[in-house]
Amino acid sequence: MPELGPRILGREDMSQSIPVKGFQIIHDLESVFASLSQLDQRELFQLCGSLYSFPLDRSVFLNDVHSLVSPEGIYGLNRKADAFLQIRKVQSHSAMMAMIFVKPTLRNRGVGRNLIEHTLDFLRSRGMHTVRLNVFADNPARHLYLSMGFEISGRKEKEGPEGTPIQKWFMEKSLR
CATH number at residue 76: 3.40.630.30
Question: In whole angstroms, how large is the CA radius of gyration of the chain?
Answer: 16
Report yes or no on 166 lying in a domain: no
Report yes or no on 8 lying in a domain: no
Report yes or no on 6 lying in a domain: no
Q: What is the pTM of this model?
A: 0.85
Report yes or no on 49 lying in a domain: yes
Report yes or no on 31 lying in a domain: yes
Per-residue pLDDT of the chain (176 residues; tens, 9 = 90+): 223 233 333 323 223 333 345 788 998 999 999 999 999 999 999 999 888 999 999 999 999 999 999 899 999 987 778 999 999 999 999 999 999 999 999 999 999 999 999 999 999 999 999 999 999 999 999 999 999 999 999 999 999 888 899 999 999 999 99
* Number of independent structural domains in the chain: 1
Report yes or no on 175 lying in a domain: no
Q: CB under 8 Å to 105, separation ≥6 — which residues?
A: none
Report yes or no on 71 lying in a domain: yes
Report yes or no on 96 lying in a domain: yes
Q: What are phi and psi of 127, to 5 degrees?
A: 85, 15
Residue 122: which domain range?
24-129
